[in-house]
């Protein structure tokens, strides 16, 4: 963990939703924020991502874009480079 200077700590405390900062000699921007808020944002993102994924899956099912479990397994094994079940 990186310890903030007293001045940096004061700035972070005054801006709990985040303070943009940049390291000397770097063009990269970082954000220092309260860890609790960062966790809330992470959870909200995953909820939204899960909801969108389920919505797409339901749309696919309703449109007839489905495959059997065996087809899905074969496709996954091919994509991941695993041997087929029949070869084992």
pLDDT in tens, 10-69: 988 998 788 999 989 999 999 999 999 999 999 999 999 999 999 999 999 999 999 999
Q: Which sequence spans correspond to the domains of the chain?
A: 6-87
Beta-carbon count within 10 A of 34 CB = 14
- Rounded CA-CA distance 6/69 in Å is 58
Which pair of structure tokens corresponds to residue 4? 């903030």
**Residue 83 pLDDT > 60:** yes
Q: Round to the nearest angstrom and report the end-to-end CA distance of the chain.
A: 47
Q: What is the pLDDT of residue 88?
A: 56
């Amino acid at each position: 963990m990186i310890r903030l200077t007293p001045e940096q700590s004061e700035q972070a405390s005054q801006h709990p939703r985040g303070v943009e900062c940049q390291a000397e000699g770097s063009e990269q921007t970082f954000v220092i924020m309260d860890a609790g808020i960062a966790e809330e944002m992470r959870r909200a993102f995953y909820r939204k991502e899960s909801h969108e994924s389920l919505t797409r899956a339901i749309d696919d099912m309703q449109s007839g874009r489905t495959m059997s479990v065996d087809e899905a397994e074969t496709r996954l094994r091919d994509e991941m480079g695993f041997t087929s079940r029949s070869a084992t």
